[in-house]
Chain A
Amino acid sequence: MKKGIRTENIKAAYGEKVIIEELSISIPMGQITTIIGPNGCGKSTFLKTLGRILGIKKGYIYLDGEEIHRLPTRELAKKLAILPQAPQAPDGLTVEELVSYGRFPYQKGLGRLTGEDKEIVSWAIEATGLKGLEEQATSDLSGGQRQRVWIAMALAQETEVILLDEPTTYLDMAYQLEILELLEDLNKVHGCTILMVLHDLNLASKFADHMIAFREGRVIKAGTPGEVMNKETLKEVFQIDAAIVTDPVSARPICMSYQLLNKEKNRSKVKKGA
């Protein structure tokens, strides 16, 4: 049995609109992989197909050698958790209640929590630094805390893989770092495989073991941050001219400044318009 996530010639579409034509790629296990790319490049779509939130039109997705669409959805939910972008909890739901929904794949019948379920829920709450807030309504928490509650729910699923779609959206800088450091801990301490879409290139580079750059439903480049965060790749992916330097703290490549490649074209458009 081959460990890891692998896709084979997958095609994904929303109705008639094809987002991914044909994609074959492997995601390394036990690492943090970040996906970058411009808006509408198919990176979220790709994540959704891996989490079977979106069906595929063609191809196969394998998790540890098993095709995910052949697995009962509950069995898959024990192996792979996915957090959509900016999920919404109903008003008044408490931290502990929300996290305990992560036990759904393991529950039978009407869904009473067993002793084991309760232990895992309190472990997930502790691991995400939410101890003491169990009884709080999630709507009363800060954005960063709320995102940690959702991550705790995914942890309670006890999966080897966690997929996250822009887990730092709507968070300010400190909270963004806090969330990503939490995910890094989960990877280092608990060995979770983490695959996430990130908007911020520098954060994506800083926290990744492996990076994937998308454009128009295709993978332009996949590899270490050094292999992906360079002038050529960013030019092809984002149509920008980037100045890349090495972060003195993390020793990872970061994009210090950038310009649009087709700036001249845009200027002439404005002139014509005027």
Chain B
Amino acid sequence: MKQKDEGKNRKNRGYKALLLLVACSFFLLFFMVLSIIVGAAKIPFSTVVDAFWHFDKENIKHLMVIDLRLPRVISAVVVGAALAVSGAVMQGMTRNPLADSGLMGLNSGAALALAICLAYIDKVTYSQIILSAFIGAGAGALAVYGISSLVPGGNKPMKLVLSGAAVSTFLVAVSQAIAIGNKMSQNLNFWTMGSVTGNSWNQLKAAVPVIGAGILIAVLLSGRISILSMGEEVALGLGVRLNFVKTVGTIVVVLLAGTSVALAGTITFVGMLIPHFARYLIGPDYRLIIPLSAVLGALLLVVADIGAKTLSAPSEIPLGALISLLGVPVFLYFARRQKGEL
């Protein structure tokens, strides 16, 4: 019955997606403002408005709004969007319902590259950090897919997840060893739990254009990704340049995952969760799934970050841990539902 209803709504799918995009953007804006208001010290809404329109650099609360809370909430927005879109692109290209940059080793690869960069390079610039995160994300993915390809049937979704878990655990251990060995242990949570605290405008200046470009390319590619989700042979038959789409798609995934790790550490499950939810809302067309995933991913991270700073105030719950709390049951649900094919 449910699918028949979806069918009837098909003509409206485009409008429905637009409506959802607008509604979610509205919610996103609301929670972004809320996220600036709440925190260790509550800042009244009027002060937030003041900080934007009549910024006074002597006013400590204005400084908090502009230099701490605004970059933090923008980080949550771009990281959420980046992770969700990278997950959507991976799911569409590989037809793997469990694809996620965290589960497939990209995030932990990027984190290790970051640890090496911070520990062994003097006066590292933020662009170098992001660049190393790309290399790390690519190497992490290569390791996971490489190990899987050695096993017969290794490209099945669940085998990839297992291989991803093994590689990630190893990479995280190495990152932690480097962090401890170089007395960077105050950042230890960052590698395993993820967080958007303490991001500065400088970091955002380097990261936001990359993520923006990545999402834009993903949107331009989305029609081809829809066709690819019907299988490679069908896509080839329709004249899709498979190698081109896969190469560009992989670059987009690495850019998005790497940059989000550089901003927020390793956060898993957003990339798996959000595209499924978007698909549930508007159907299997990636031209709609990808933009909606971007907004929904941003929304999830902003809301989760509000939770991270308020649930056990004044101390903070790691953002990644909160998301995993939500992600694990959903992961188990999908893993069980598709057990025959995994």
Binding site for B on A (CB under 8 A): 48, 51-53, 72-78, 81-84, 87-94, 96-98, 101-102, 104-105, 107, 110-111, 135-137, 139-140, 154, 157
Contact = CB atoms under 8 A, between A and B. Distances in A.
Given A53-B233, A104-B227, A111-B223, 18 more contacts: A51-B237, A77-B237, A78-B239, A82-B237, A84-B233, A87-B231, A88-B230, A90-B230, A92-B6, A92-B283, A92-B284, A96-B10, A97-B10, A110-B223, A135-B7, A135-B11, A136-B7, A157-B238
A249 to B, nearest CB: 34
A137 B6 contact: yes
B3 interface: yes
Contacts of B220: 110
A82 B285 CA distance: 22
Interface string B281-298: 001110100000000000
Contact of A94 (B10, B230, B231, B237): B10
Nearest to A101: B227
B257 to A, nearest CB: 23
A70 B329 CA distance: 50
Nearest to A72: B239
Interface in B1-57: 3-4, 6-8, 10-11
B3 A92 contact: yes
A135 B13 CA distance: 12
Contacts of B229: 90
B311 interface: no
A102 B237 CA distance: 9
Contacts of B222: 110
B285 A104 contact: no
A101 B230 contact: yes
A121 to B, nearest CB: 13
Which of under 10, 10 to 19, 20 to 34, or 35 or more describes the interface residues of B?
20 to 34
8 contacts: A77-B239, A87-B230, A90-B230, A110-B220, A111-B223, A135-B8, A140-B3, A140-B4
Contacts of A137: 3-4, 6-7
Nearest to A77: B239
B4 A83 contact: no
B241 interface: yes
A110 B237 CA distance: 19
Contacts of A102: 238
A122 to B, nearest CB: 13
Contacts of B4: 136-137, 140
B48 to A, nearest CB: 37
Given A136-B7, A139-B3, A84 B226 contact: no
A51 B239 CA distance: 10
A73 B287 contact: no
A104 B241 CA distance: 12
Interface in B207-252: 220, 222-223, 226-227, 229-231, 233-234, 236-241
B310 to A, nearest CB: 37
Contacts of B226: 101
Given A93-B284, A96-B10, A105 B238 contact: yes
B276 to A, nearest CB: 11
Contacts of B287: 110-111
Given A92-B284, A101-B238, A135 B10 contact: yes
A87 B222 CA distance: 20
Nearest to B237: A82
B3 A104 contact: no
B236 A52 contact: yes
**8 closest Cβ pairs, A-B complex:** A77-B239, A84-B233, A74-B239, A90-B284, A111-B223, A82-B237, A135-B7, A137-B3
Nearest to A76: B239
Contacts of A48: 233
A40 to B, nearest CB: 18
B231 A84 contact: yes
Contact of B285 (A74, A97, A105): A97
Given A136-B7, A137-B4, A88 B239 contact: no
A75 B3 CA distance: 35
Contacts of A81: 237
A114 to B, nearest CB: 14
Nearest to B282: A92
Nearest to A87: B234
Contacts of B240: 73, 104
A53 B240 CA distance: 11
B234 A91 contact: no
A93 B230 CA distance: 10
Contacts of A53: 233, 236-237
A76 B240 CA distance: 11
Nearest to B239: A77
A137 B227 CA distance: 16
A77 B236 CA distance: 9
Contact of A73 (B233, B239, B279): B239
A89 B239 CA distance: 17
A104 B239 contact: yes
A102 B285 CA distance: 15
A105 B235 CA distance: 11
Contacts of B231: 84, 87-88
Contacts of B241: 73
